[in-house]
């Protein structure tokens, strides 16, 4: 019997499967908020600059953007249980290695690899949960998934901020790696196998084109300010990205089993949720890094204080996501998305005005509104996209 196959034919309840799947998801998002609060501390410890250390956040996000579509496709081909186990095992190993980083380059590289492995866990966990719950529960499942994604960073902030100041930022990755190891063991025992598309093949060329297209754009945008927009490497990235993205789009239309079903993007119920997700997540994740740096530079706060200031964000996100399923049943998904995106915009404006007026309370209030907005808006978008795509 394969080590990646279920141990036997025993079946667990959908709720048990959900808890185990979300345990791993929680471990993968445990450090993101508190890590952003500790950028200055990490930069000083590794004799680097904050602009370089921001890649500790930006690099893994880039890895998620590049590898998540590939991981979802591999899960369809080889089974989401298999991808979940492989992803978390790799992420656990490299998360533990992160705690031994001796330079900024090593820290960033190991973080990117760890999150590259972890990229498979998000779509796989969601696919497994969707497979064991009935269709009319999908919005609530997506809401619980989003709530856990937010609650884990809140725990990380509450525990990690004081822990960093008392010991070291390295302890965070020991905790994360150990938690992931436990999640892998539970997942092997509990998670069911999912259907596979054995008649399909993996699109290697498309994956390469997409990775270069997205990666070069994100690198160019990130390096544009510190290096200058006229720097050769930035210009190369900005030129390379559209070339490879266009090549990807052309190639995907010619092959039988593409990485991304481009025909589906022509459908309104698929295209609009994807666009909504982009405009929702972009400002939300950018706000995390910007707010952390702002609290350090403008208000001169340390890692523990920054962590406490950011804490309302994951808490309100989790609360909003928890109620999203209930609200969708009564109001529908569209009002929640409009309300949520408006909340993110208002939150960002409050953070900016608070910094300009030296009003710390306004920044904290804006952080909380931003979290609630994202928490309410994300579950209906995910549920709508899942329903529109179906088994494709």
Is there a contact between 32 and 155 (Cβ–Cβ < 8 Å)? no
Residue 7 within any structural domain of the chain: no
In the predicted structure, residue 5 carries a pLDDT above the cut 60: no
**Strand locations in the chain (E):** none
Residue 155 sits in the same domain as residue 208: no
Long-range contacts of 362-366, Cβ-Cβ distance < 8 Å, separation of 24 or more: 363/291, 363/294, 363/295, 363/299, 363/309, 364/309, 364/312
Tell me which of 152-166, 186-200, 373-387 is least confident.
152-166
The confidence score (pLDDT) of residue 199 equals 64
Average pLDDT over residues 151-177: 78
Q: What is 177-235 written as a DSSP string?
A: HHHHHHHHHHHHHHPPP----TT----HHHHHHHHHHHHHHHHHHHHHHHH-TTSHHHH
Decide if pLDDT at 323 tops 70.
yes
Res. 301: pLDDT tops 80: yes
- At 330-384, the pLDDT tens digits run 777 778 888 888 988 999 999 999 988 889 999 999 999 988 888 888 878 877 7
Domain membership flag for residue 115:
yes
**Structure tokens that stand for 189 in this block:** 């025992």
Per-chain mean pLDDT for the chain = 80
CA-to-CA distance for 264 and 245, rounded, in angstroms? 17
Which region among 64-73, 123-132, 206-215 has the lowest average model confidence (pLDDT)?
64-73
Whether 147 and 35 share a structural domain: yes
Is residue 220 domain-shared with residue 276, that is, in the same domain?
no
Query: Does the residue 350 lie in any domain?
Result: yes
What pLDDT is stored for residue 266 in this prediction? 75
Q: Which residues contact 233 (CB under 8 A, 6 or more apart)?
A: 220, 223, 227
* Same domain (yes/no): 178, 230: no
**Token digits of residue 389:** 């795509």
Q: Quick one: average pLDDT of 3-18? A: 69
Q: Please check whether residue 27 is in contact with residue 183, taking contact to mean a CB–CB distance below 8 angstroms.
A: yes
Q: Rounded to an integer, what distance in angstroms lies between the CA atom of residue 349 and that of residue 328?
A: 27
The answer to the question of residue 297 being in a domain is: yes
Q: Please say if the pLDDT value at position 56 is more than 60.
A: yes
pLDDT of residue 129: 84
Q: Are residues 253 and 336 in the same domain?
A: no
Decide: 259 and 206 in contact? Cβ < 8 Å: yes
* 3-state SS track over 104-152: HHHHHHHHHHHHHHHCCHHHHHHHHHHHHCCHHHHHHHHHHHHHHHHHH
pLDDT confidence tier of residue 1, bands split at 50, 70 and 90: very low
226 and 103 in a common domain: no
- Rounded to an integer, the average pLDDT of 61-90 is 81
- Whether residues 84 and 185 fall in one domain: yes
The whole-number pLDDT of residue 6 equals 57
Does the structure show a pLDDT above 80 at 117? yes
User: Considering 258, 276, 298, which residue would you say is the last residue of a domain?
Assistant: 258
Q: Which of 9-18, 37-46, 73-82, 334-343 has the lowest mean pLDDT?
A: 9-18
Q: Which residue has the higher pLDDT, 143 or 232?
A: 232
Q: Are residue 301 and residue 171 in the same domain, yes or no? A: yes
Tens digit of each residue's pLDDT (9 = 90 or more) over 230-241: 888 889 989 999
Does residue 282 lie within any of the structural domains? yes
- For residue 369, the model assigns a pLDDT of 92
pLDDT above 90 (res 247): yes
Does some domain include residue 140?
yes
9 located within any domain = no
* pLDDT surpassing 70 at residue 148: yes
What is the structure's pLDDT at 94? 92
Asked if 371 and 317 touch (Cβ cutoff 8 Å), the reply is yes
Asked if residue 288 and residue 214 are part of one domain, the reply reads no
Domain end among 212, 240, 258: 258
- 260-281 pLDDT, tens digit per residue, is 777 777 777 777 777 877 788 7
Q: What is the pLDDT of residues 83-100, one digit of tens each?
A: 889 888 998 999 899 989
pLDDT at 291 over 80: yes
Same domain, residue pair 265 and 241 = no
Q: Do 270 and 225 reside in the same domain of the chain?
A: no
Give the mean model confidence (pLDDT) for residues 107-113. 90
Overall number of domains in the chain: 2
Residue 69 in any domain: the answer is yes
Structural domain for 241, as ranges: 203-258
Residues 115 and 150 reside in one and the same domain: yes
């Amino acid at each position: 019997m394969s080590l990646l196959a279920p141990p036997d034919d025993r079946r667990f309840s959908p709720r048990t499967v959900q808890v185990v799947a979300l345990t791993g998801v929680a471990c993968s998002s445990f450090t993101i908020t508190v890590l952003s609060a500790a950028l200055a501390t990490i930069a000083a410890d590794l004799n680097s600059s904050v602009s370089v250390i921001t890649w500790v956040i930006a690099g893994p996000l880039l890895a998620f953007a590049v590898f998540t579509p590939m991981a979802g496709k591999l899960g369809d081909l080889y089974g989401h249980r298999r991808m979940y186990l492989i992803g978390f095992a790799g992420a656990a190993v490299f998360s533990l290695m992160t705690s031994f980083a001796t330079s900024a380059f090593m820290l960033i590289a190991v973080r990117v690899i760890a999150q590259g492995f972890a990229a498979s866990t998000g779509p796989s966990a969601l696919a497994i949960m969707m497979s064991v719950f009935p269709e009319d529960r999908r919005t609530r499942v997506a809401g619980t998934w989003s709530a856990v994604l937010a609650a884990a960073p809140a725990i990380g902030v509450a525990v990690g901020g004081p822990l960093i100041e008392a010991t070291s930022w390295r302890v965070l990755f020991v905790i994360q790696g150990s938690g992931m190891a436990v999640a892998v063991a539970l997942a092997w025992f509990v998670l069911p196998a999912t259907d596979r598309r054995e008649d399909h093949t993996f699109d290697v060329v498309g994956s390469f084109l997409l990775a270069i297209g997205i990666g070069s754009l994100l690198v160019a945008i990130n390096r544009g300010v510190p290096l200058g927009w006229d720097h050769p490497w930035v210009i190369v990235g900005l030129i390379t990205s559209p070339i490879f993205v266009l090549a990807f789009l052309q190639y995907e239309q010619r092959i039988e089993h593409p990485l991304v079903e481009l025909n589906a993007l022509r459908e309104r119920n698929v295209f609009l949720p994807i666009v909504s997700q982009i405009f929702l997540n972009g400002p939300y994740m950018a706000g995390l890094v910007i707010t952390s740096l702002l609290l350090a530079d403008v208000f001169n706060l340390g890692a523990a204080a920054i962590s406490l200031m950011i804490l309302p964000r994951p808490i309100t996100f989790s609360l909003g996501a928890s109620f999203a399923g209930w609200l969708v049943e009564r109001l529908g998904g569209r009002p929640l998305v409009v309300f949520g995106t408006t909340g993110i915009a208002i939150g960002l404006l409050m953070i900016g005005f608070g910094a300009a007026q030296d009003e710390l309370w306004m920044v904290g209030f804006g952080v909380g509104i931003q979290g609630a907005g994202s928490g309410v808006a994300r579950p209906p978008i995910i549920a709508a996209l899942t329903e529109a795509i179906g088994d494709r």
